[in-house]
């Protein structure tokens, strides 16, 4: 809206005061001549661009018709001088359209004049062609009659961004003139730098009318910042003054980097030697102009013209704008020839004749056709391939040059498809990444080939970085220094923190010069580390190196490197021998759950034994639960000492007992080892268990004087400030804890480690570890050193260097295994340790019970191992493979018959058939006799025993005993060999009402 008001005001001023004199046309011709084509040109002939363009336009017209003498059309130029004034320029343009009726207008020279020019062209349907209005705010797409035969300024932004990325700079400062030309490109820089993660901490805006003093003031302001990479977007007039003053301010020295845009670099050659010499080391970008035969011939003509006319040095080179002006004339000439001979006279708009109204202008009937012809023109010009895309010249490549001495050297190229390269890449494929430098050797400001790191350390004019080091008397492992007896100054500064800092700074890719300054400056001991933070925040010093804790409230004023030590605040308490109070120490080797499961196991195994033996009618285990379970439970307990008296008849019971005995053996051995360890190691216990005990009893606690821990105890742990006592050295900690002044010491982990390494087995850490960030180095806000040093800290952490430094300073002379060595305790055995055994016992016992219940009532006895071996192999084969297994003699005893059982350990008599049983049920009963202990085997009837065993061992009379027939099998093992004679008494007693039976006598030396 503002531009519209300005436009109408300008028209009113022009049309009401039309007395300005103009330069006559180069060639006058009647507008009615159809063979002549009138083109207006408005230039500022006081500027370098205007002077160069006037000569290039004249030469272009002459050269074109010299090459094409037979063309029917001919361009007539009408040149007007605006004398650097926008009003004069607009007035001249209006005159050329209204009075001369030009069919095309080469204008504006500057982007600021384009708004009125575009409106004028659209109204009159006259193409407005500009070779120097490069502002990206001018869009030919939105203004159809505006044609830009130059490259848009915004296209160079990507080339500059690629350079910034290749040099790995993370911050840049933009310096631009305070005009539409200077301001309009800034959003494009902001957008592209945001995409590549480049920060712009500051933008310097300099007015065109700024004095040298104002420029110097702004430059001195830039020296106080850390960023040393500057992008200059200015015209040559103000830009040349900027570099002269930057050189005077010492900013064209080592460590700085300067990049100029094409608005400045395209007019580099016409500059005076003083300006060029002050720009040594500057990098510039400009559109690439390919070499050609036509360009060489033009350069020769230009030099001849400059020599003959004795022109000033500012016209020594045509520059990029001169070449674009030359190609613009050729474009118009080609377009006019294609349009043909048409009536060029303007048509009336049929509106009021009021000269103050823009609508009084006529319009060109051939304007639309001429515009289309211009847009379709393509040829090989002096500036390269001329091809208009969307109404403006298509960019192909950018040339990157380096100012050296009073000249320049091309160091590379950039294309949108090929990126940065030393040689021009015409392919559509990237040959390298923009994150890798692919340019020729560069001479930087200060005449050095070392790439600037992109930032400098503001040292307020000092040559060295001033580093504060805290003076402290305690914990000298971290920072230590000595006082010179003569100068009274602190010298020989060493310690863990100092060595870490020196190690990481020595590995930086750039030299970092610094000097230590002990603090306080009066040589006394530091009282509060916050004082160090204030010194850096107020820019009195540049850094702090020492054992400074990283805190959030401190980070609001300064920046910290990443921590180089462990983080956390912890409590240290004395240890006391608590052996006499350990009444129940014997139960500690096993966890409560393990005790519970073990006792439960005795009951379970007892139940399994009783169940299995009850099925075998074992008289040692009563048939009722009330009588049998206690016996079985007692039996399972006796497995610990192997003193059972009860005999086992069932093989399944033996399998269960094997697993249980194995488990008890492992458990008892583990218990013995753990208990032995507990009795031989001193059981030291902390006197205080947690912070709640301190808070509830109101105990006194200590902390390190000058640290943040005091505030932490009151603000976070809610301890009474009156209960806090500050101490300085590890010796103070020891004295306070040993004499009872305090019950605990709170400090950060690194200091606690030093303290515990000094006093072994007397103190221990207890309770929670309260989080903190650890120790770090201090720098001003937004210091670039922070990221570099943090990276180096990571490197020495990964390669083990930091651990070696820590071992050297913080653990020297330590005879302790660790802070908690004095409070070492025996590890309890838990259920987890015996899960495998529990699974085995469970599987065996449950399987045995299942087998037992499945075979209940079966007439066949569960065979012994020796029996199963005989079933597998015949006796001869068994003796061959297992000669230790004896043969079992089998003797059939008919009623009244006898048999021998020599060499056996036990005898099994199977009554396999009742001779007089009419039903022939085939009931099988097993009766065993034992010669070494003749006794009643537990008969259940009063019938006289049908089988008699006679002992034949010994010199005396043989012992004879009877074995009654029972309804349940019995197994009685003999420890010695049995030599006996058996006799079947069935049928010998006529009074016996029981039917006679046939028996089978089996004698075996196997115990199973």
pLDDT in the model for residue 919: 40
Write the CA distances from 279 to 133, 223, 270, 275, 444, integer angstroms.
Answer: 26, 17, 14, 7, 10
pLDDT at 979 > cutoff 70: no
Q: At what angle do helices 801-810 and 749-758 cross, to 10 degrees?
A: 50
Read off the pLDDT of residues 910-920 as tens digits, 9 standing for 90 and up.
Answer: 554 444 333 43
Catalogue the long-range contacts made by 33-37 (C-beta closer than 8 Å, 24 or more residues apart).
34/341, 34/342, 34/343, 34/344, 35/72, 35/73, 35/74, 35/341, 36/73, 36/74, 36/75, 36/76, 36/344, 37/73, 37/74, 37/75, 37/76, 37/103, 37/104, 37/336, 37/344
> By mean pLDDT, which of 521-530, 736-745, 860-869, 913-922 is the weakest?
913-922
Residue 382, token pair as written in the block = 């002096």
Please choose, from the candidates 767, 826, 770, the residue with its C-alpha nearest in 3D space to the C-alpha of residue 573.
Answer: 767
Contacts of 208 (CB under 8 A, 6+ apart): 177, 178, 179, 237, 238
Between CA 455 and CA 171 the distance in angstroms is: 8
DSSP 347: B
Separation CA 702–CA 732 (nearest Å)? 10
* Residue 862 DSSP class: P
What is the percentage of the chain residues whose pLDDT exceeds 70?
71
Whether residue 959 has pLDDT greater than 50: no
Q: At what angle do helices 155-166 and 186-195 cross, to 10 degrees?
A: 40
CB 829 within 8 A of CB 618: no
Q: Please state, in angstroms and rounded to a whole number, the distance separating the CA atoms of residues 887 and 895.
A: 25
pLDDT computed for residue 232 by the predictor: 97
pLDDT for 947? 60
- How much is the mean pLDDT over the chain? 78
Handedness of CA 880, 881, 886, 890 (dihedral sign): negative
Q: How confident is the model at residue 645 (pLDDT cuts 50, 70, 90)?
A: low
Q: State pLDDT tens for residues 130-176.
A: 999 999 988 888 889 999 999 999 999 999 999 999 998 989 999 99
Q: Which of 298-312, 423-437, 638-652 has the lowest mean pLDDT?
A: 423-437
Asked if 727 and 702 touch (Cβ cutoff 8 Å), the reply is: yes
User: Helix, strand or coil for residue 8?
Assistant: helix
What is the predicted pLDDT for the residue at 927?
Answer: 41
**Helical spans, DSSP H, in 681-748:** 691-697, 709-715, 730-738
Q: What whole-number distance in Å separates Cα of residue 468 and Cα of residue 970?
A: 97
CB atoms within 10 A of CB 416: 15
What single DSSP character describes residue 455? B
At 406, the pLDDT band (50, 70, 90 cuts) reads: confident
Chain centre to alpha carbon of residue 697 = 46
666-695 residue pLDDT tens = 888 888 888 887 776 656 778 888 899 999
User: Ranked by mean pLDDT, which of 353-357, 484-488, 578-582, 828-832 comes out on top?
Assistant: 828-832
Top-confidence residue, 625 or 365 = 365
pLDDT more than 90, % of the chain = 42
Give every CB contact of residue 306 below 8 A, 6+ residues apart in sequence.
Answer: 315, 316
860, pLDDT greater than 60: no
pLDDT in tens, 144-155: 999 999 999 999
Helix (H/G/I), strand (E/B), else coil: 154: coil
Query: Is pLDDT above 60 for 29?
Result: no
How many Cβ atoms from other residues are within 10 Å of residue 21's Cβ? 5
Range of lowest pLDDT (97-106, 222-231, 819-828, 963-972): 963-972
pLDDT in tens, 333-387: 999 999 886 666 776 665 444 444 466 678 888 999 999 999 999 999 999 999 9
More confident residue, 996 or 122: 122
H helices then E strands: how many in the chain? 29, 37
Distance CA 976, CA 958 (A): 16
| Domains, the chain, ordered by start | 33-152+303-393 (3.40.50.2300), 155-290+397-421 (3.40.50.2300), 585-680 (1.10.287), 865-1004 (no CATH)
**Residues across the chain:** 1008
DSSP string, 548-571: EEP-HHHHTTEEEPPP-S---EEE
Note every long-range contact of 811-814, with CB atoms under 8 Å and residues 24 or more positions apart, other chains counting. Answer: 811/753, 811/757, 812/477, 813/757, 813/758, 814/757, 814/758, 814/760
Q: How confident is the model at residue 115 (pLDDT cuts 50, 70, 90)?
A: confident
Greater model confidence, 385 or 489? 385
823: three-class secondary structure by DSSP: helix
pLDDT reading at 980 higher than 70: no
User: Which one has a higher pLDDT value, 515 or 999?
Assistant: 515
60-to-108, 266, 395, 707 alpha-carbon distances in Å:
19, 20, 22, 80
Q: Which residue has the higher pLDDT, 106 or 947?
A: 106
pLDDT score recorded for residue 986: 55
Quick: pLDDT tens for 441-475.
999 999 999 899 888 776 555 668 899 999 888 89
Cα radius of gyration (the chain): 55
Q: Is the pLDDT of residue 938 over 60?
A: no
Give the confidence band of 403 by pLDDT, cuts at 50, 70, 90: very high
Containing 702, the helix (H) or strand (E) segment is: strand 701-704
Mean pLDDT over 773-784 rounds to 91
Does the pLDDT of residue 871 top 70, yes or no?
Answer: no
| pLDDT range class, residue 11, cuts 50, 70, 90 | very low
pLDDT for 856 equals 59
Give the model's pLDDT for residue 760.
76
Of 269-278, 541-550, 980-989, 992-1001, the range with the lowest mean pLDDT is: 992-1001
pLDDT of residue 888: 44
Q: How confident is the model at residue 847 (pLDDT cuts 50, 70, 90)?
A: confident
**DSSP string across 246-292:** HHHTT-SSTT-EEEE-HHHHTT-TTS-HHHHHTTTT-EEEEE-----
pLDDT digits (tens, 9 = 90+) for 491-529: 889 999 999 999 999 988 777 889 999 988 776 778 888
Question: Which whole number is the average pLDDT over 738-751?
Answer: 94
Q: What is the pLDDT of residues 214-271, one digit of tens each?
A: 999 999 999 888 889 999 999 888 999 999 999 999 999 988 999 999 988 876 555 7
What average pLDDT does the segment 843-855 reach? 82
User: Is the torsion defined by CA of 62, 68, 70, 72 positive or negative?
Assistant: negative
**Residue-level pLDDT at 620:** 54
The tokens describing 152, both together, are 């848009």
DSSP assignment letter at 996: P
Identify which has the larger pLDDT, 655 or 802.
802
Per-residue pLDDT at 969 exceeds 70: no
Other beta carbons less than 10 A from residue 781's beta carbon: 12
Largest CA distance in the chain: 173
Structure tokens at 405: 């001495």
182 within 8 A of 176, measured Cβ to Cβ? yes
pLDDT band at 478 (very low <50, low <70, confident <90, very high): very high
Q: Where are the alpha helices (DSSP H) in 167-211?
A: 180-183, 186-195
Tens of pLDDT along 14-24? Answer: 443 333 333 33
Q: Is the pLDDT of residue 567 over 60?
A: yes
Q: What is the distance between the alpha carbons of residues 933 and 274, in angstroms, rounded to a whole number?
A: 133
Query: Is the pLDDT assigned to residue 82 strictly greater than 80?
Result: yes
């Amino acid at each position: 809206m503002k531009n519209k008001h300005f436009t109408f005001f300008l028209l009113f001023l022009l049309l009401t005061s039309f007395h300005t004199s103009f330069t006559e046309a180069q060639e006058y011709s009647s507008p009615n001549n159809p063979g002549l084509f009138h083109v207006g040109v408005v230039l500022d002939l006081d500027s370098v661009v205007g002077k160069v363009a006037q000569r290039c336009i004249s030469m272009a017209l002459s050269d074109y018709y010299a090459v094409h003498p037979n063309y029917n059309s001919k361009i007539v130029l009408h040149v007007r001088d605006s004398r650097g004034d926008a009003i004069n320029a607009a007035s001249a343009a209006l005159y050329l359209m209204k009075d001369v009726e030009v069919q095309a207008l080469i204008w504006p020279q500057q982007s600021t004049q384009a708004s009125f020019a575009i409106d004028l062209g659209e109204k009159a349907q006259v193409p407005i062609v500009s070779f120097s209005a490069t502002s990206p705010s001018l869009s030919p797409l939105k203004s159809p009659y505006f044609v830009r035969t130059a490259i848009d300024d915004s296209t160079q932004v990507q080339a500059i961004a690629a350079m910034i990325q290749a040099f790995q700079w993370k911050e840049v400062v933009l310096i631009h003139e305070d005009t539409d030309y200077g301001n309009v490109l800034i959003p494009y820089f902001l957008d592209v730098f945001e995409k590549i993660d480049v920060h712009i901490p500051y933008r310097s805006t300099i007015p065109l009318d700024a004095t040298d003093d104002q420029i110097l003031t702004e430059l001195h302001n830039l020296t106080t910042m850390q960023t040393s990479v500057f992008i200059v977007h200015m015209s040559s007039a103000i830009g040349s003054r900027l570099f002269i003053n930057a050189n005077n301010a010492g900013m064209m020295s080592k460590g700085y980097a300067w990049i100029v845009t094409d608005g400045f670099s395209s007019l580099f050659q016409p500059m005076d030697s003083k300006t060029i010499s002050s720009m040594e080391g500057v990098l510039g970008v400009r559109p690439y102009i390919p070499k050609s035969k036509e360009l060489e011939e033009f350069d020769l003509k230009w030099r001849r013209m400059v020599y003959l006319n004795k022109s000033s040095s500012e016209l020594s080179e045509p520059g990029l704008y001169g070449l674009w002006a030359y190609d613009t004339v050729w474009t118009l000439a080609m377009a006019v020839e294609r349009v043909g001979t048409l009536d060029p006279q303007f048509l009336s708009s049929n509106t009021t004749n009021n000269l103050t109204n823009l609508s009084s202008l006529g319009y060109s009937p051939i304007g639309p056709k001429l515009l289309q012809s211009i847009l379709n023109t393509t040829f090989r010009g002096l500036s390269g391939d001329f091809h208009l895309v969307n109404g403006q010249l298509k960019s192909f490549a950018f040339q990157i040059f380096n100012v050296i001495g009073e000249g320049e050297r091309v160091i590379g190229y950039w294309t949108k498809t090929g990126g940065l390269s030393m040689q021009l890449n015409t392919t559509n494929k990237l040959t390298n990444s923009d994150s890798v430098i692919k340019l020729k050797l560069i001479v930087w400001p200060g005449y050095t080939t070392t790439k600037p790191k992109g930032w400098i350390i503001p040292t307020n004019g000092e040559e060295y970085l001033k580093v504060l080091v805290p003076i402290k008397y305690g914990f000298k492992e971290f920072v230590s220094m000595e006082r010179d007896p003569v100068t009274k100054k602190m010298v020989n500064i060493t310690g863990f923190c100092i060595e870490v800092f020196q190690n990481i700074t020595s590995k930086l890719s750039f030299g970092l010069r610094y000097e230590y300054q002990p603090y306080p400056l009066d040589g006394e001991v530091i009282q509060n580390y916050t004082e160090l933070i204030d010194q850096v925040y107020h820019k009195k010093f540049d850094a702090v190196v020492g054992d400074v804790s990283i805190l959030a409230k401190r980070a609001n004023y300064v920046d910290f490197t990443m921590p180089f030590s462990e983080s956390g605040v912890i409590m240290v308490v004395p240890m006391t021998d608590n052996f006499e109070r350990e009444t129940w120490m014997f139960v500690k080797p096993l966890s409560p759950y393990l005790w519970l499961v073990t006792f439960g196991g005795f009951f379970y195994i007892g139940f399994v034994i009783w169940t299995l033996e009850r099925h075998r009618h074992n008289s040692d285990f009563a048939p009722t639960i009330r009588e049998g379970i206690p016996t079985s439970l007692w039996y399972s307990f006796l497995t610990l000492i192997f003193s059972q008296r009860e005999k086992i008849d069932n093989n399944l019971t033996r399998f269960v007992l094997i697993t249980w005995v194995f488990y008890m053996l492992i458990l008892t051995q583990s218990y013995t080892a753990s208990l032995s360890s507990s009795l031989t190691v001193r059981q030291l216990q902390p006197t205080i268990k947690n912070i709640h005990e301190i808070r509830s009893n109101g105990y006194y606690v200590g902390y390190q004087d000058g640290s943040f821990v005091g505030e932490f105890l009151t603000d976070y742990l809610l301890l009474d400030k009156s209960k806090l006592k500050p101490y300085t050295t590890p010796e103070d900690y020891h004295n306070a804890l040993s004499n009872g002044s305090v019950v605990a010491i709170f400090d950060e982990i690194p200091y606690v480690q030093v303290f515990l390494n000094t006093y072994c087995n007397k103190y221990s850490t207890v309770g929670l570890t309260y989080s903190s960030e650890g120790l770090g180095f201090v720098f001003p806000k937004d210091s670039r050193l922070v990221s570099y040093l943090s990276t180096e800290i990571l490197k020495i952490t990964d390669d083990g260097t930091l651990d070696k430094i820590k071992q050297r300073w913080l653990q020297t002379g330590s005879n302790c295994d660790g802070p908690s060595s004095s409070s070492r305790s025996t590890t309890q055995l838990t259920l987890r340790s015996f899960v495998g055994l529990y699974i085995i016992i469970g599987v065996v016992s449950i399987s045995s019970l299942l087998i037992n219940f499945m075979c209940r009532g079966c007439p066949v006895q569960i065979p012994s191992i020796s029996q199963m071996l005989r079933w597998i192999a015949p006796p001869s084969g068994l003796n061959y493979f297992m000669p230790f297994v004896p043969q079992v003699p089998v003797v059939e005893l008919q009623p009244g018959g006898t048999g021998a059982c020599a060499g056996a350990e036990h005898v099994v008599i199977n009554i396999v058939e009742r001779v007089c049983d009419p039903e022939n049920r085939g009931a099988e009963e097993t009766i065993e006799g034992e010669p070494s202990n003749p006794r009643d085997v537990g008969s259940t009837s009063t019938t006289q025993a049908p089988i008699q065993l006679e002992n034949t061992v010994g010199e005396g009379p043989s012992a004879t005993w009877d074995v009654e027939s029972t309804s349940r099998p019995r197994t009685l093992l003999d420890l010695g060999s049995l030599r006996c004679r058996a006799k079947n008494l069935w049928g010998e007693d006529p009074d016996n009402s029981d039917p006679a039976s046939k028996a089978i006598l089996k004698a075996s030396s196997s115990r199973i």
